[in-house]
A = this chain, B = another copy of it.
Amino acid sequence: MTEREPLDVIEAMQSMPARRYLKPDPIPDDILWEILDAAIRGPTGGNNQQWGWVVVRDPEIKQKIADSYRPILQSAYGHGRARPEDLTGGKRLQWGTLEVAESDVGVDAANQRAVLHLADTIQNAPVLVLPVIERAAAYNDTQAHGALLGSFIYGAVQNLMLAARAHGIGSVLTGGRVLSDISDINQWLGLPELAAVMALIPLGYPERGRWAQPKRRSVEQVTHWDRWGEQHTR
């Protein structure tokens, strides 16, 4: 096992921003296995583990994914489109009785540059991880079932990214849209008929940036005690 420093679990969460500037340097196999083995300790309903974890290192497949993914990222973020208003259907955010500090929400100029950098370079990340739910299409096609499907995979995905963090490897959760917009991806990966790719996570050692605290609205602003709108200070 490759040696690493222990990292406290809460400290890990408090120092894990999305990393979008990644070096092409390879990730050793034993580290990848350790990260994946941590991922699959995440929860699934009824412990059904109806998942597969596709680890893409083949340059050709990475390039195909990148070529399809780039325009999606560009159209989402390339023209200042990622304002919080857009993501909430045009409504200004308001949380209970507390004002929202706008700068803690959405994507600022530096983030936007980072997203576009990733769009241009994702094929150079040493590893792309694509978590797959095998019989996703067998669930009823409703939002409730879609959300249920999400609860069967994204906890494990978070484990994956935190475990990578423990090894000094950066990542970012992308690709909610992969599911619907890159229909060829199932074929490239040879997925079973009813399978769905649930995310696209590049992994790599960081090229720039730091393990800063992820910028969020304060916990007081988003916590409600017993009833929505009942908020108090820490």
A residues touching B (Cβ–Cβ < 8 Å)? 6-14, 16, 18, 33-34, 36-38, 40-43, 45-58, 61, 76-77, 82, 84, 86-89, 91, 93, 95-96, 104-107, 111, 132, 134-136, 138-159, 161-163, 165-166, 172-173, 176-177, 179-180, 189-192, 195-196, 198-199, 213-217, 219, 222-229, 234
- Report whether B46 and A84 are in contact in the complex, using a CB–CB cutoff of 8 Å: yes
- A7 to chain B: which residues have CB within 8 Å? 8-9
Whose C-beta in chain B lies nearest to the C-beta of A93? B50
- Report whether B159 and A176 are in contact in the complex, using a CB–CB cutoff of 8 Å: no
Q: How many angstroms from the CA of A47 to the CA of B17 in the assembled complex?
A: 11
Which 4 pairs between the two chains have the least Cβ-Cβ distance? A150-B150, A146-B146, A154-B154, A148-B176
- A135: which of B33, B51, B91, B135 is its contact (CB, 8 Å)? B91
